[in-house]
Amino acid sequence: MKFSDIDFSAISRMMDNMSDEEKNKLNDMAQNMMNNMKQNEEPEEETDFYEALNINEEDYADFPGSVLDQIEAGSDLEVYYEDVKDADFSASALFYAKATLNMLRKYIYPVFKNFFDGFNNPSTTTIYSYLYPLMNQDNIHKLFDEEFGTPEGWMELKNALQQIYIILNRAEYDFVSYEDLQLLKDILFNQEVLLKIKNI
């Protein structure tokens, strides 16, 4: 129907024949329709990644901006795919792994470069670069003897990096399930591995 097809005189006559009660009901109905349209037009309030990951923003306030961007991207991608049946969460896992690697490069590289071979340039290191030395107990004791961290702290980091490395390989070559991603998030945020890397 075109706007020009509307018979406004007929509508006016119909309104004149209505009782006040009927007019009020019609006005209420029209107002409700307008309110519903307005609500549908309003964008949904977005949940920031701190809330989505159930972490305290203050704890991460001095993290590098690039790391925070990668954490946010990982969280956003999870939300994007969470309603897709049998979704592959590899993209989200890769961003979380990238955030982990950048934390290792910033906070662990300056320590490891003084003790282990292969630490000549932070940008060429991988997660496995940091995992490999920790697989040797002698290296862990060497770090402790030089007053860098504790054996328990290094063992915890080793175990976390092993899990992250496995999930990273799945993301690159296979498939990351929703359950895999929850495990990765548990390691990074519930077990606070990213915070521990910074404070080791």
Q: How would you write the pLDDT of the chain (200 residues) with one tens digit per residue?
A: 554 554 545 555 555 666 667 656 666 666 776 676 656 555 555 568 999 999 999 999 999 999 999 999 999 999 988 888 789 999 999 999 999 999 999 999 999 999 999 999 999 999 999 999 999 999 999 999 999 999 999 999 999 999 999 999 999 999 999 999 999 999 999 999 999 999 98
> 190: number of CA atoms within 13 Å, CB side?
8
| Structure letter (DSSP) for residue 12 | H
- Name the CA dihedral angle for 32, 34, 37, 42, rounded to a multiple of 10 degrees: -100
Task: For residues 78 and 121, give the distance between their C-alpha atoms in angstroms, rounded to a whole number.
Answer: 32
Task: For residues 65 and 55, give the distance between their C-alpha atoms in angstroms, rounded to a whole number.
Answer: 16
Task: For residues 171 and 119, give the distance between their C-alpha atoms in angstroms, rounded to a whole number.
Answer: 25
89 in the Ramachandran plot: left (φ > 0), alpha (ψ -120 to 50) or beta? alpha
Of 90, 107, 133, which is closest to residue 197 (Cα–Cα)? 107
Per-residue pLDDT at 11: 53
Task: For residues 55 and 1, give the distance between their C-alpha atoms in angstroms, rounded to a whole number.
Answer: 54
Do 191 and 151 meet the contact criterion of CB atoms below 8 Å apart? no
Span 133-157, pLDDT tens digits: 999 999 999 999 999 999 999 999 9
Of 163, 160, 181, which is closest to residue 108 (Cα–Cα)? 160
